[in-house]
Amino acid sequence: MRNYGWLLVAMFPLVSYSQGSSVTEGYEWLSQQCKDLRCVEDNINMIDGQIASLVAKRLAYVKRGAEIKNTNVLAPKEPGYGDAAKRATETAEQLGTSKGSVGSVFDAIEQQSNDYEKKYLNPIPKPKP
């Protein structure tokens, strides 16, 4: 009989907040529900799929940002705009997880997003006075 402890991740993604004093401890508790490597692999594969989906969603917004920039209808940038890696590492620190791992992932995501945006960025030249 197969262990379906992995369903906890899908059914109770916020269980980590109530199971430990930090999110990381909660995820540690949740991962301990796996009793075999198949459960571990199933969860990693599910998380990888979620990450891929979120990156695709992010890139859709990057593309939309380029389209808006192409019209020269720009809103003023908020303070901290473009600091995804910095915000992510701050969040990682608050969650009690590895800032270095999160920072390197977000550095790569930002670089890829910038490259992706360039494919769609073709701003209208500003009129000369």
Rounded Cα gap, residues 116 and 67, in angstroms: 12
Q: Which of 1, 5, 20 is nearest to 97 (CA)?
A: 20
pLDDT (tens place) for every residue of the chain, 129 residues total: 455 444 544 544 544 444 445 667 778 888 999 999 999 999 999 999 999 999 999 999 999 988 888 887 666 666 666 678 888 888 888 877 777 888 888 889 989 999 999 999 886 666 676
User: Is the Cβ–Cβ distance between 88 and 34 less than 8 Å?
Assistant: no
User: Is the Cβ–Cβ distance between 110 and 53 less than 8 Å?
Assistant: no
pTM to 2 decimal places: 0.69
Both tokens of 22, joined, read 């930090």
